[in-house]
Amino acid sequence: MTRERRGEAVTRTDARAVAPERRWEERVQRTAHPLVYPLLSRVRRPVLRVPRIGVVVSDAAVLRSVLLDQERFTKTGPGSPADLWTPVLGPSVLLNMEGADHHALRRRLAPLFAPGYVAELTRDTVGASAERLTERLRAGERVDLVAEVREYAGRVISRLVGLDEEVLGEELFARVSGVTGLVRLSRPRFTEEQATAARAVLDDLTRHARRAYRDGSADTVPGRMRELGLGESEAMGAVGAFVLTGTETLVSYLPRLIAVLADTGWLGRLAHDRSLVDAAVAEGLRVTTPSPVMLRSVVAEAELAGVRVRPGDRLVLATFLADRASGAFDPVANPAASLKQLWFGAGAHFCLGAPLAMAQIGLVLEAVLAAEQEAPLEIVDRRAQRRTLIPGYRSLVLARR
């Protein structure tokens, strides 16, 4: 057995405890957020004021009611996503919009995320690589699934936002991840120095996407935004937002899903019986919750589970706590079904990119299951990512057993 300082790296021989998937998920979360995660994990009330953090909501029903109520809770007030991201991305990137403007932009972009369209886009972009992934695993190659998924996600999102595939390489991806790594729950907005540094990273990224805007290509995000009458700078902000949300969450989730399946024995079960694949994916999303927290700002006085909230209060919607309350990973009982995909949000802000994420998840999972069906796989090494906004693995190495 090998172990790094702080326990970020442990080989497969350490997997001996009860509910190993829960133990590893705890480690992934703690490594990403060593201070805030233990603090929030101790929350036992459905709604609780936490000093320097905000009003923490951890009950699924209450959380959903907040997401569905745009009259009293908004993404554009103090302590909201707009407060954090608008200085970096600009005002028109969906994640910091409300009302008619949000609806119009979402409606214009929706065809780019239709299930049939993104399924074809994913197959065209990374289908051949996924087939090679199966062959490589069958041949006995050790594959770092984090690096593999990062490459796939980068290629797919690059096609969608009008980047050349080679632009979002390892170095730029690391810099983009560094932007999200600056986010702290205890700090509602970037410092001016941090915002300037973040804008410089996104400027390097988006200068490659300006051609898509100027060409007005209808099959890219910038082209659609131009059709809507939005300016080039606004379109480039949206490119930055889609790269941030369209890569990091997927690079977080897919290796964590494979780890959960391997740790619970479900990888082999699904390889020989695909009937519960959809339930396993949903359960994986429930127990990992790649976007563990959502933010809202209170604009009208309200009561949440007996706690009075007032205009200007910051709501920290602890989705990972709400999702996990249903218990351990269990595709048979499938408690995820009752949550109605809460990990993707709800209402007007339900994740626009959910079909794109599901298309990539299905493709990669099938590639791994095809290899597992021929010869059992195992995790030979894994390392949790330290101090990152989206908890995940820095590396997760699969190989034939």
Instruction: Quote the CA–CA distance of 163 and 223 in Å, as a whole number.
Output: 12
- Confidence bin at 351 (pLDDT 50/70/90): very high
pLDDT one-digit tens code per residue, 75-107: 998 999 999 899 988 888 888 899 998 998 898
The type of residue at 287 is V
Q: Once rounded to an integer, what is the mean pLDDT over residues 284-294?
A: 94
- Confidence bin at 6 (pLDDT 50/70/90): very low
Q: Would you state the structure tokens that stand for residue 288, as one six-digit string?
A: 């990992």
pLDDT at 254: 97
Candidate ranges 33-37, 144-148, 152-156; pick with highest mean pLDDT? 144-148
Q: Once rounded to an integer, what is the mean pLDDT over residues 276-298?
A: 96
pLDDT at 11: 35
| Superfamily (CATH H level) for 5-400 | Cytochrome P450 (1.10.630.10)
Please state, in angstroms and as integers, the Cα–Cα distance from residue 17 to each residue in 23, 33, 70, 170, 380, following that order: 8, 23, 44, 35, 17
- Confidence bin at 393 (pLDDT 50/70/90): very high
pLDDT at 170: 81
Please state, in angstroms and as integers, the Cα–Cα distance from residue 90 to each residue in 75, 197, 238, 385, following that order: 14, 15, 8, 29
Please state, in angstroms and as integers, the Cα–Cα distance from residue 262 to each residue in 41, 266, 273, 385, following that order: 25, 6, 15, 19
pLDDT at 108: 86
What b/e readout covers 106-126, taking b as 16+ CB neighbours within 10 angstroms? bebbeebbeeebbbebbeebb
Q: Once rounded to an integer, what is the mean pLDDT over residues 116-131?
A: 96
- Confidence bin at 12 (pLDDT 50/70/90): very low
- Confidence bin at 180 (pLDDT 50/70/90): confident
Q: Once rounded to an integer, what is the mean pLDDT over residues 345-350?
A: 95
Instruction: Quote the CA–CA distance of 204 and 198 in Å, as a whole number.
Output: 10
pLDDT at 261: 97
- Confidence bin at 309 (pLDDT 50/70/90): very high
Q: Would you state the structure tokens that stand for residue 342, as one six-digit string?
A: 């809460």
pLDDT one-digit tens code per residue, 294-303: 999 999 999 9
pLDDT at 49: 96
What b/e readout covers 2-17, taking b as 16+ CB neighbours within 10 angstroms? eeeeeebbbebebbee
- Confidence bin at 397 (pLDDT 50/70/90): very high
Among 103, 239, 64, CA closest to 164: 239
Percent of the chain with pLDDT over 70: 95
Residue identified by tokens 């994740």 is 351
pLDDT at 285: 97
Strand, helix or coil for residue 56: strand
Q: Which H or E run contains 101?
A: helix 99-109
DSSP bridge partners of 384: 393
- Confidence bin at 62 (pLDDT 50/70/90): very high
- How many C-beta neighbours within 10 Å does residue 265 have? 11
Instruction: Quote the CA–CA distance of 145 and 151 in Å, as a whole number.
Output: 10
Domain residue ranges in the chain: 5-400
Which stretches within 110-231 are classed as H helix?
115-138, 145-161, 170-180, 192-206, 210-215, 221-227
Q: Does residue 5 have a pLDDT over 50?
A: no
pLDDT at 165: 76
Chain mean pLDDT for the chain: 90
Q: Once rounded to an integer, what is the mean pLDDT over residues 241-256?
A: 90
Sign of CA dihedral 115, 345, 148, 378: negative
pLDDT at 171: 80
Mean pLDDT check: name the lowest of 10-14, 271-275, 278-282: 10-14
pLDDT at 172: 79
Candidate ranges 154-158, 195-199, 244-248, 295-299; pick with highest mean pLDDT? 295-299
